[in-house]
Amino acid sequence: MHRLLLLAAFPLVMFAQPNSQAGAVDALFAPYSRAGAPGASVMVIRDGKVLYQHAYGLADVEGKAAAATSTNYRLASVTKQFTAMAIMILAERKRLAYDDPLTKFFPGYPPYGRQITIRQLLNHTSGLKAYEDLIPPGRTAQLHDADVLELLRHESGAYFPPGSEWRYSNTGYAHLALIVEKASGMGFAAFLKKNIFDPLDMAGTVAFEDGVSAVAHRAYGYTERGGGFERTDQSLTSAVLGDGGIYSSVEDLYHWDQALYSSKLVRPDTLRQAFTPAVLTGGRKTAYGFGWEIGEYRGLATVRHSGSTVGFRTHIARFPDRRFTVIVLINRNGADPGKIADQIADLYLYN
């Protein structure tokens, strides 16, 4: 009964889908439809309408559970746009400012943290060292965001002066999750649920904490080896939430995508900053805002992000001028969901 109610409440209006486009999309996902193989979920959206949604293959190979459009995949770095939104919400509430230094929230941080701002964490210009390279040899316990902070407390400097260069940083987004907690007085996962997921009716989406929360309709991650698929669902860094710990489905991400055309979460002027490229101290523009890669595809402006972690590959590609979005979630290594998203855009925007 509960599942039936969820389906009845899902507010999507489907366009009639030309067989040629549907068949072409299905052909792109043929490798994910093989018997016994981990699969994928896809959704194509235009003007608030779902043009096509489908799932392929298995969410759980061992349990033989089929993937569905309600299946929740680990988003990996697609998580960063939600972490950034949490910071923007708190900025609007005057609980923090983008130019606050790290040391405002972490008083014991090494001196180099005095020059690093929240803005630089958001747009990957902080220069913070990659925490993945600082994990002690032989460690077997998963890291959490607080462990990332502790690793950086023992460093004496950054890769470069803050704001002078661009370097993608998972470390920065782990720090941002902890700043959300400091500024809000809530746990990061709880803040996301109360302030983003619940208001947008993203009922299945969760920043997963082992032993604290659960992921319903969960996909498990896999790697192809020796002609079969081995479950590779977790790594040492899988419990770090701020840079990649959210699970969601294409159905829930529909609500997220549509909210980004509205002021449901933050004001338009606040949201605009997420889609504005950072400018380095030398004047050069980057291709990154707050949690979003900014660019173009075949002459159309895009905001997008990929996610890659052990056993999962994800991508959301938005073409705001056309109000067109492609979401691709895959539960295996070796996939290229960004390329697939562009091929789907070709089918709908250029054919």
Could you report how far apart the first and last alpha carbons of the chain are, in Å? 41
Q: What is the pLDDT of residues 22-58, one digit of tens each?
A: 999 999 999 999 999 999 999 999 999 999 999 999 9
Neighbours of 268 (CB within 10 A): 9
pLDDT at 227 (0 to 100):
87
Residue 93 has pLDDT above 90, yes or no: yes
pLDDT at 183 (0 to 100):
98
Residue of 200, 139, 132 lying closest to 171 (CA atoms): 132
* pTM of the complete model: 0.94
**Could you write out the DSSP letters of every residue in 224-285?**
EETTEEEE----TTTT--TTT-EEE-HHHHHHHHHHTTSSSSS-HHHHHHHTS--B-TTS-B
Positive or negative, the CA dihedral 155, 161, 163, 167 is: negative
Strand partners, 14: 50
Query: What single-letter amino acid sits at 349?
Result: L
Beta carbons of 220 and 311 less than 8 angstroms apart: yes
Residue of 130, 334, 135 lying closest to 232 (CA atoms): 334
**Could you write out the DSSP letters of every residue in 157-188?**
--SSSTTSS----HHHHHHHHHHHHHHHSS-H
pLDDT at 2 (0 to 100):
36
pLDDT at 264 (0 to 100):
97
Mean pLDDT of 247-258: 98
Would you place residue 256 in the very low, low, confident or very high pLDDT band (cuts 50, 70, 90)?
Answer: very high
Question: Average pLDDT over the chain, rounded to whole?
Answer: 94
pLDDT at 18 (0 to 100):
54
For the beta sheet containing 246-248, the strands, ordered from the edge strand earlier in sequence to the opposite edge, are 73-74, 246-248, 206-207
Mean pLDDT of 78-99: 98
Residues annotated as catalytic are: 77
Q: What is the pLDDT of residues 296-350, one digit of tens each?
A: 999 999 999 999 999 999 999 999 999 999 999 999 999 999 999 999 999 999 9
Residue 111, token pair as written in the block: 């001196």
pLDDT at 19 (0 to 100):
64
Mean pLDDT of 219-237: 95
pLDDT at 164 (0 to 100):
98
Would you place residue 20 in the very low, low, confident or very high pLDDT band (cuts 50, 70, 90)?
Answer: confident
Mean pLDDT of 190-206: 98
Q: Which helix (H) or strand (E) holds 105?
A: helix 102-105
Task: Calculate what percentage of the chain has a pLDDT beyond 70.
Answer: 95
258 by Cβ neighbours in 10 Å (0-12 / 13-18 / 19+) ranks as middle
